Amino acid sequence: MKISASLLDKTKSINTALAAIGQKLQTIREQKTKGQRGVWEIAEKFEKAIGRMIEELSVKLSSLFKDNSPIRLQTSHDASSDHNSGYDWFRGQLIKGAQKYDYYANLREDHLWQRMKIQSAQSGQEEKTVFSIIVSIHPVGREFTGILAVTAFSEYRESSDEGTTVSEPYFSNDQPFIFTYKDTDQETQEKFETWLNETLAIALTEWQAQL
């Protein structure tokens, strides 16, 4: 059976269309991969800003509570060592935060965090309180599409002869800071640092009220 020239032309047209679709899908995949890489590069810059601000805050707090202070105070700072080490850290608290802010926190993916601990006790007393401020950077959505959220919360851990109690997390801002791989400009960095400064100030006010 002979195949007509018109049928061959139609087959070629279909194959051409399928090839174009395949190329389009490949382009989308490459853009998605590039976007996911790019957003983590921004996240690492934000993480450095978080660490720098926490270190500065620790120094300033320590200077306030030296020389005959009625309250003994000690600060410390720790962080996730790489993207993949953050999975299970603060999972319950971050899920509560996502529920508060009405988004899905994708904790299966990479997760960066920084924590500041403020340990305080009245002079001459054994009972102590550890107030922690945690700032987390994690993906938004069930599928990672290059959108990240920064949230911050604080919590108390009180130790006494009767045992240890841990408070519910207190989220320090009305909204998380959301960004994508497109947010590479200096203005976004400045907006983030303003958000972070306000967030840490709110958390410190919460801690101050408990002194």
* Whole-number pLDDT of residue 200: 94
Q: How do residues 173-189 score in pLDDT, each as one tens digit?
A: 899 999 998 888 889 99
Q: What is the DSSP letter of 113?
A: E
* Whole-number pLDDT of residue 94: 94
For 34-111, list the strands marked E by DSSP.
Answer: 71-79
* Whole-number pLDDT of residue 86: 47
User: Which residues in the chain land under pLDDT 70?
Assistant: 1-12, 17, 19-20, 22-36, 67-69, 81-88, 123-126, 161
Q: Where are the alpha helices (DSSP H) in 65-104?
A: 91-101
pTM, full prediction: 0.79
Tokens of 203: 């958390």
Residue 181 in contact with residue 34, Cβ under 8 Å? yes
Domain residue spans in the chain?
39-209
* Whole-number pLDDT of residue 123: 62
